[in-house]
Amino acid sequence: MTQETQIHEQENLGGRVASSAGWALASQVPAQILGLVTSIVIARILGPFDVGLAAAAIVFSNLALIFADFGFAAVIIQRPVLTEADRSTAFWTGAALGGVLTVLGVALSWPVAALYDQPEVQPLFAALAITFLLSSLGIVQSGLLIRDLKFRSLELRTIAATAVSCVAGIVAAVAGAGPWAIVIQHIAIVGVSTALLWRASSWRPKMTFSRTSLREMAGYSSHVLGVDVLGWAMVSLDNFLIGRYLGPRALGTYSIAYSVMTTPIRRIASPLTNVFFPAFSAIKDAERIGGYWLRSTGMVAAVVVPLTLGMIPVAPDLVDSFFGEEWEDAAILIQILAGVSLIQSLTSLCDSVLQALAHTRTLFRWTLAVTVISVSAFAAAIPLGVEGVAWALLVVSAVLHPILVWLTARVVGLTLRDWVRSIMGPLQAGALMLVPVYLTGELISPDAAHILRLGAMTAVGAVAYALLLRWRYPSAYVEVQRVRERRRAGRESSPEPAPGA
């Protein structure tokens, strides 16, 4: 391959990545609005107890969804050469796992309900079991679309599935379905997403199964599966312990606060991770990946810092304005979990770097250590109540996530200091932004409407952060312009290969 060809391919990849990142972020605006409105409506209708019952059922259903994937999506994205035998073997294996897990899910619904000492959880969990099969049928199609950076199709699917599920959830809640409204919403988004994946992808499974392909893929996917299972434990066992020992009402309050504060991860960091993982896998060169990692982390910081730090002063007014007095205990949890969301968002791209460079064993070992420490901390904090669990999660994240950054930096030939420098500008801008936001809240009369105070503080914070970011992190605006140019270059380049090619 000539140097000129390499340069052309790099520019083409850069344009496709920029276009994909643009789609990934742009699609989150309508999805986030729909999700937020739905959460508010359902939470106000149901109340903390019913929300907690649904959350209890979803905790273990999310674990089953991970087993249904079995790490095959990551294998499809990461493998340099992907054969038809690989694709079809992954599909049929995943479908079989999904079917088995659905049957097991129904059978285990009674023991799961007994764990919580809440019989109402049993039918909810049994109904959610159908999602194990539904999601398994779209794993390969999703992996192929991500591998080829076809994020326009993926994100349009996200918007459509979110819209259908939100309507279904709200209609069920208004009709008096109680916790079933959230279960119906969950089933709807999985079912519609899978159906749209089949429509977006031209690949269809062949009647082919290769034990050789399965063995080869299992070597990589087993570590990914281990990381995913431990990741589930890290983010879900706090919910289980709260639901088991503090009750559905406490879990409902915690789950709403957690949902609000993990929005930057789910709607910004995770979509970008989906974009950069296949891009990093295509690059392979550790030094180049390190440079992209720092620049991408800086841009993630520029977006998530105001969303997380800014939530600390406005949380009480936000809860009172939208969720109502019944949910007032969620305000302090939102403030505590803001730090968790910030830390996890800033370190979210580490997984993509380590997986792209096949350092899944390192990632697995780190995740195992964090999971053991996290679960121990959650258990120790249970006597302190739901706030104690939130504080435990913040402390564990602050202490252990820098280790993940150090491990990732070492792999790409960088240092922890390099990573800190990449996020320092947005962090400084965000910290300074809090001053005018707090002053605005103090200047407005305590008797004023919560929505008025919330609007004023949000507006002041947005303007202040934009000005401060240009001062402390001017490269953010340079990066935005660069993304626009590369998106234009990506549109002008040759058509992308068909999915699965």
**Residues 255-303 pLDDT 10s:** 888 888 876 566 665 666 656 666 666 676 788 888 888 888 888 898 8
CA 20 to chain centre: 17
Q: What is the pLDDT of residue 462?
A: 94
pLDDT over 50 at 494, yes or no: no
Residue whose token pair is 């038809």 = 84
pLDDT of residue 8: 42
281 or 495: which carries more pLDDT confidence? 281
Q: Which two tokens stand for residue 273?
A: 């991770």
What count of Cα atoms within 13 Å lies in the side-chain half-sphere of residue 319?
A: 24
Q: Is 413 left (phi over 0), alpha (psi -120 to 50) or beta?
A: left
Residue 229 has pLDDT above 80, yes or no: no
Give the model confidence (pLDDT) of 425-480 as tens digits. 999 999 999 999 999 998 887 777 888 999 999 999 999 999 999 999 888 777 66
Residue found by looking up tokens 């097991």 in the block: 104
- Predicted confidence (pLDDT) per residue in 164-204, tens digit: 988 999 999 999 999 999 999 989 988 998 898 888 888 89
Within 10 angstroms of residue 484's Cβ, the number of other Cβ atoms is 12
What are the φ and ψ backbone dihedral angles of 182, each rounded to 5 degrees?
Answer: -70, -35
Residue 23 predicted with pLDDT over 80 = no
CB distance 188 to 136 below 8 Å: no
Which token pair is 22? 């643009």
Question: Quick one: tokens of 456?
Answer: 């004023």
Please, which pLDDT band fits residue 28 given cuts at 50, 70 and 90? low
- The arithmetic mean of pLDDT across residues 383-390, rounded, is 93
Give me the pLDDT at residue 480, please.
65
Taking residues 371-392, what's their average pLDDT? 92
* Average pLDDT of every residue of the chain: 81
> Is the pLDDT reported for residue 488 higher than 70?
no
| Residue that has been written with the tokens 């964090």 in this structure | 370
CA–CA distance, 406 with 388 (Å, rounded to integer): 28
Give per-residue pLDDT as tens, 48-77: 899 999 988 888 777 766 766 666 677 777
CA angle 486, 487, 493 (to 5 degrees): 85
pLDDT in tens, 313-342: 999 999 988 888 889 899 999 999 999 989
Per residue in 125-171, pLDDT (tens digit) is: 999 989 888 888 888 888 888 777 666 666 677 778 888 988 999 99
pLDDT in tens, 174-184: 999 999 999 99
Query: Is residue 500 predicted with pLDDT exceeding 70?
Result: no
Using DSSP, state whether 103 is helix, strand or coil: helix
Give pLDDT tens digits for 101-129: 889 889 989 998 998 888 999 999 999 98
More confident of the two residues 399 and 202: 399
pLDDT value for 47: 87
Length of the chain: 501
Q: What does the buried/exposed string (b/e) look like for 99-136 if buried means 16 or more CB atoms within 10 Å of the residue's CB?
A: eebbeebbebbeebbebbebebbbebbbbbbbbbbbbb
What is the per-residue pLDDT for 236? 77
pTM score of the predicted model:
0.77
* Max CA separation in the chain (angstroms): 71
B/e letters for 181-203, b = 16+ CB within 10 Å, e = fewer, are bbbbbbbbbbbbbbbbbeebbeb
Percent of the chain scored above 70 by pLDDT?
79
Cβ-proximal residues to 25 (8 Å cutoff; 6+ apart), any chain? 268, 271, 272, 303
pLDDT of 5 higher than 50: no
| Residue 127 tokens, joined | 């109904």
What's the distance, Cα to Cα, between the start and end of the chain in Å?
20
List, as one string, the DSSP characters of 199-267. HH------S---HHHHHHHHHHHHHHHHHHHHHHHHHHHHHHHHHHHT-HHHHHHHHHHHHHHTHHIII
Q: Who has greater pLDDT, 193 or 35?
A: 193
